[in-house]
Structure 1
Amino acid sequence: MSNEEDIHQRLRAAVHYTTGRMCLDIGRQQGREFSPQVIAAIAETTFRQCEVFATDLEAFARHAKRSTVTSDDVKLLARRSTALANFIQRKNELLIKDQKHGKKNAGKKTNKDQEDSNAAPHL
């Protein structure tokens, strides 16, 4: 197995593990259980979608004649999901605000920032 294949498999395993943990947490909150097959299907779908996102982000940057993916590329990627686009816009604004305040405040979060940081978009 090449190093690239090894990294690919480790990423896939990490997505599967994280998906399983999230399903467990959500299941506890909702009083439900997720079968191993459902968790595997969600993990595989997530992994494949991330591969598509990565390819699209690279294409957007290349089209703009850049070698670096920027937040504008991510916003373009999310344009079809209003909730996701709004979430990304808020996160981007927080990052810009933190950069403007410099390193002395970068590690400090207000309660509002923490809530925004943890709030997932409703898709």
Structure 2
Amino acid sequence: MEGDANGIDVEKEEDESVINILRDRFRLATISIAETEAKRNGLEISEPIIAYIADFAFKYTEQLAKDLELFAQHAGRKSVNTEDVILSAHRNDHLASLLRSFCNDLKAKEPQSERKRKKASRKEDKATTSVVHVPDL
């Protein structure tokens, strides 16, 4: 029994380690983007504000990922697709329309031969377009 508990503890520590690495990388990318945009617009942003923006963006992204996973589960799927992403933006009409437009542009760029090869029904076709697998951490 104790061996099982230790194994669970090790898994938890590994999960926390992965989350910390992702958070750090995300923060660095966010800080880089904020600094680049500030320079491009001739602005200065204080370090505490940049750190706050990075933390806020990470927390928002964490919640978005959880929402997407729930949308996919509710639809009976194990993978998130573009419809889930568009649904996540339902409170922001402008963002939802931009996402729909982006999705339509991607579908238009998809080679015709690949679209013709699929013999699935339209409903299945929509559900499997641009699928992103969400692994369990």
State the alpha-carbon separation in 2 of the partners of residues 39 and 53 from structure 1: 21
**2:55 aligned residue:** 44
Distance 1:88 1:7 in 2: 29
Cα separation, partners in 2 of 1:36 and 1:95, compared to 1, 3 Å: same
- In the alignment, what sits opposite 1:110? none
Counterpart-to-counterpart distance in 2, 1:80 and 1:29: 30
The amino acid of 2:28's aligned partner reads Y
Which position in structure 1 is the counterpart of 2:37? 26
Over the aligned positions, Cα root-mean-square deviation in angstroms equals 1.7
Is contact 1:60-1:73 (8 Å) kept? yes
What one-letter code is carried by the residue in structure 1 that aligns with 2:95? L
Structure 2 residues without counterparts, runs of 5 or longer: 1-9, 115-137
Quick check: which has more Rg, 1 or 2?
A: 2
| Pairwise CA distance, 1:61 | 0.9
Alignment TM-score, normalising by the size of structure 1? 0.75
**Higher RCO, 1 or 2 (CA under 8 Å, sep at least 6)?**
2
Q: In structure 2, how many angstroms separate the alpha carbons of the residues matched to 1:7 and 1:77? A: 25
- CA distance, structure 1, for counterparts of residue 21 and residue 112 of structure 2: 37
Aligned counterpart for 1:88 among listed residues 99, 105, 128: 99
More deviation, 34-43/23-32: 23-32
Matched, 1:17 2:52: no
Are the equivalent residues in 2 in contact too, given 1:61–1:69 (CA < 8 A)? Answer: yes
Q: Could you tell me how far 1:64 is from its partner in structure 2? A: 1.0
Deviation at 1:56, TM superposition (A): 0.7
What's the counterpart of residue 46 of structure 2? 35
TM-score (norm 2): 0.68
Matched, 1:63 2:74: yes
Partner secondary structure for residue 31 of structure 1: coil
